[in-house]
Structure 1
């Protein structure tokens, strides 16, 4: 799960980062609305968490511009403005959730995870492909009910593949998902990660879950399983691609 945090209050940022990192989120932080707008247009974030009071504009304007530009990233407003009018205005402009400060860390984490699941068309926190099950709440992968011990990078790669099941994921997308444009290594590192991930899944009895599409990237699919559409990054018809929710 990749989250963009938009806030310029140092103390508030520290508190929010702590809460979001406890969910296993890959977190990026910017201080201005313009930075948030440009990044959200360019990159595929799973969620945007934003204060309403920003140094260059207000959060309402950022929400309006994003929705006007057809950027569908789920937006959670995190603000000390608690009056009903503030919430109504945020929702009317296109925000998906609103949480007032001070907040409980666990509640913020739960709201973000629920928001991301809904945006992907998932009503549950677990995605199953054959014998392999990925739990997005606990960041645990099991095969035939037994835990497969993955590194953080390996888990993030599998998470992205599962969320985009039935679609080819380019190596550049993996780099962006793992590093967010910061100090990205050579793209060949993705092949290394996938190779190790495949080996672990195979040893656990999952078979060859990940398929290489030469010159384009990787894909996972489970032919014959029940399918659910997985949100804005997915093609419109996934009815034959086989994603089972468990």
Structure 2
């Protein structure tokens, strides 16, 4: 999942950025409202966190401009301002949550998880499709009751596929989700990650869940829905060798 933070005080959010990064959130940090609005023009975010005290524009006005642009991304205010009128103004402008500084990291993380789930219309932390289960909070993945050991990148790809199950995801979308436009590798790395994921799923009888949509990208489906998909789209990634049982 990807988060944008707008805060001119780097020291105040540096620890939060590190904690979110360790939880595999892709985090972009900007210091001004203008930079934040520009980022929204180029990327989609699962959550926007903003201070109200910004150098170029009041945070309340920034939130209004985001909402006027018909951006529905959940917005959390993380601010030094603690008075009730300011909180009311932030909510009236379009904020979804308000946390005051100094903040408790555990509570803030829980609020972030709840808001990012809401951005996908998900009420619970567990995502289930067929035999596959993923817990957004613990980051544990299981297939038919067997724990699946995944790398950070593999988990992030599977998480995105589950959050948008039934939708075709392009390689650009995966690269954006994994790297956020920073030091992005070639697109073929996505084929490699998908191939490795398929092999791990195959070990526990769920090899046909991730399907290649040729010329477009990948889609995750319930095995029953994927049953009619051709064997060629199930067993190959673009430019890769046929699947083999992992040893």
Structure-2-length-normalised TM-score = 0.87
Aligned counterpart, 2:236 = none
Are the aligned partners of 1:19 and 1:108 in contact in 2 as well (CA < 8 Å)?
A: no
Aligned counterpart, 2:137 = 137
Shift of 1:28: 1.5
Shift of 1:224: 6.4
Shift of 1:222: 1.5
1:119-140 CA-partner distances (Å, limit 9, x unpaired): 2111100110100001110111
Q: Secondary structure at the match of 1:11?
A: helix
Runs of 4 or more off by more than 6 Å in structure 1?
A: none
Unpaired segments ≥5 residues, structure 1: 226-246
Q: Give the Cα separation in 2 of the matches to 1:159 and 1:123.
A: 16
Shift of 1:19: 4.1
Are the aligned partners of 2:74 and 2:96 in contact in 1 as well (CA < 8 Å)?
A: yes
Q: Give the Cα separation in 2 of the matches to 1:199 and 1:224.
A: 19
Aligned counterpart, 1:53 = 53
Are the aligned partners of 1:22 and 1:109 in contact in 2 as well (CA < 8 Å)?
A: no
* 1:69-88 alignment, distance < 5 Å: 69-88=69-88
Query: RMSD of the TM alignment (CA)?
Result: 1.5
Which is greater in Rg? 2
Aligned counterpart, 1:13 = 13
Are the aligned partners of 2:171 and 2:217 in contact in 1 as well (CA < 8 Å)?
A: yes
Q: Secondary structure at the match of 2:39?
A: helix
Are the aligned partners of 2:209 and 2:223 in contact in 1 as well (CA < 8 Å)?
A: no
Unpaired segments ≥5 residues, structure 2: 226-247
* 1:154-233 alignment, distance < 5 Å: 154-222=154-222
Shift of 1:74: 0.8
Shift of 1:37: 1.0
Q: Give the Cα separation in 1 of the matches to 2:178 and 2:139.
A: 15
Q: Give the Cα separation in 2 of the matches to 1:51 and 1:25.
A: 19
Q: Give the Cα separation in 1 of the matches to 2:59 and 2:13.
A: 15
Shift of 1:22: 5.0
1:156-207 CA-partner distances (Å, limit 9, x unpaired): 1111111111111011000000000111111111111111111111112223
Distance 1:86 1:193, change over 3 A: same
Aligned counterpart, 1:113 = 113
* 1:94-109 alignment, distance < 5 Å: 94-109=94-109
Aligned counterpart, 2:90 = 90
Q: Secondary structure at the match of 1:212?
A: strand
Shift of 1:112: 0.4
Are the aligned partners of 2:5 and 2:27 in contact in 1 as well (CA < 8 Å)?
A: yes
Aligned counterpart, 1:241 = none
